[in-house]
Amino acid sequence: METAKQQIEDWRTEAGDTTVMSASTVQDRLFDLWGELRDLPPVSQVEQWLSLTVERELFSGKELVDFLNELEQSLGDHASAGAGAGAGAGPSGTATD
C-alpha cells in the first residue's frame, strides 16, 4: 500500500500543477494504482474512474486532485479499520482462557 500512497502523492503534485490531463494519461496512472490496490476495497473507486477514461477525453487537474484526496482518505480508512479489527481480535480470542 505504501507504493500506492507514493503514486497518489506524486500524481497529486503533478495534477495540481496541470490545468487538464488527457484521458490516456489518466488511464495509465489509474492502471498503475489498480495494480497496487487490486486486493483492497478502495480499488472500486479506481475502477469507476477507469470507466470514465473511456467516455471522456480530458480531466481537469482539480478534479484529479479531489479524486486522489478521496482515494487517499479511503486508503487511510481501510488501514484504520484493519488495525482496529486486528486489535479487537485478541481480547475476544482469549475469552476462553
**pLDDT at 90 exceeding the cut of 70:** no
The full set of domain ranges for the chain reads 1-62
DSSP states of 24-91 as a string? HHHHHHHHHHHHHHTTSTTHHHHHHHHHHHHH-SEEEHHHHHHHHHHHHHHHHHHHHHHHHHHHHHHH
Residue-level pLDDT at 83 = 59
Selected residue with higher pLDDT from 71 and 82:
71
pTM for the complete prediction?
0.78
Residues 21-39 have pLDDT tens digits of 999 999 999 999 999 999 9
Q: Do residues 5 and 72 make contact, with C-beta atoms less than 8 angstroms apart? A: yes
End-to-end CA distance of the chain: 36
